Amino acid sequence: MEIIYSDENLIVVNKPPGISVHGGVNIREKTLTDFLLEKFPDIRGVGDEPEVRPGIVHRLDKDTSGVMVVARNQKSFEALKELFQKRLVEKTYVAIVCGRPKIKQGIISLPIGRLVKNPLRRGVEQRKSRIRGAREAVTEYKVLREGGKYSLVELKPKTGRMHQLRVHLKAIGHSVACDKVYGGKNVCCPKEANRQLLHAKSISFSFPAFVGRSRFGGRRPEGRRFHFEADVPQDFDIAQKQIV
């Protein structure tokens, strides 16, 4: 597990693919929080549900790789939680998708909800798929590179819905490569990969000053600006180099 950064308030990691962020009913293997508790035992007791997900403010799907920020104390947790709720955290992802999008840069603004026929999955309202509990979902995207079968796309979610990027890409006809859940069992997939090729590349935010004090006393009006990046894992790197 690569630790990108750590101080008395924050821990930033590059999560590998194939590792769940925290435990659950059907999770038997070691999780991200298990690794974190071994190295940073002080996060025990931090968060809304510290017995399940200590320090975890946001999450990535098991097979999605990339940068995650974790709170190291309760005050930091509350600060980060507020930043995410107010959409003050900027996140950038990269994905290898099936095909070549005709529109090379744009905004996908399609509400996401639970599929009526399969409530365990998310979707957008379409003729053949109905949803319940639709909520606003907005994603900016830009095609970075194109090949014969795959494209490399940059994604910037402006909202934080579950599976948002995977659902939005499917909705415009370009599912994430190897994503059998939303792309179907016959989804395109480079032979080097066996998981959806989605990677959280970077995260940026201004950390609120109430974690520290100004020299004049009281809370600082603004905190320090942080920007963290995570390198793509080997399977993603091999696949993207073949997009020519």
Rounded Cα distance, 85 and 57, in Å: 10
Q: How many domains does the chain have?
A: 1
Nearest to 179 by CA among 193, 160, 161: 193
**What angle (nearest 5°) sits at the alpha carbon of residue 207, between those of residues 204 and 213?**
160
What is the span of the domain harbouring residue 68? 2-241
Residue 61 pLDDT exceeds 70:
yes
Q: Annotated catalytic, 179?
A: no
**What angle (nearest 5°) sits at the alpha carbon of residue 60, between those of residues 85 and 185?**
130
pLDDT in tens, 10-54: 999 999 999 999 987 677 789 999 999 999 999 999 999 999 999
* Inter-CA distances, 152 with 3, 101, 230, 231, Å: 26, 10, 17, 15
pLDDT in tens, 147-205: 989 999 999 999 999 999 999 999 999 999 999 999 999 999 999 899 999 999 999 99
The tally of CA atoms less than 13 A away on the side-chain side of residue 52 is 8
Please identify which of the residues 42, 61, 179, 237 carries the catalytic annotation: 61
Residue 211 pLDDT exceeds 50:
no
pTM for this one?
Answer: 0.91
- Whether the Cβ atoms of residue 84 and residue 58 lie closer than 8 Å to each other: yes
- Whether the Cβ atoms of residue 152 and residue 143 lie closer than 8 Å to each other: yes
CATH number (domain holding residue 50): 3.30.2350.10
pLDDT in tens, 71-125: 999 999 999 999 999 999 999 999 999 999 999 999 999 999 999 988 888 989 8
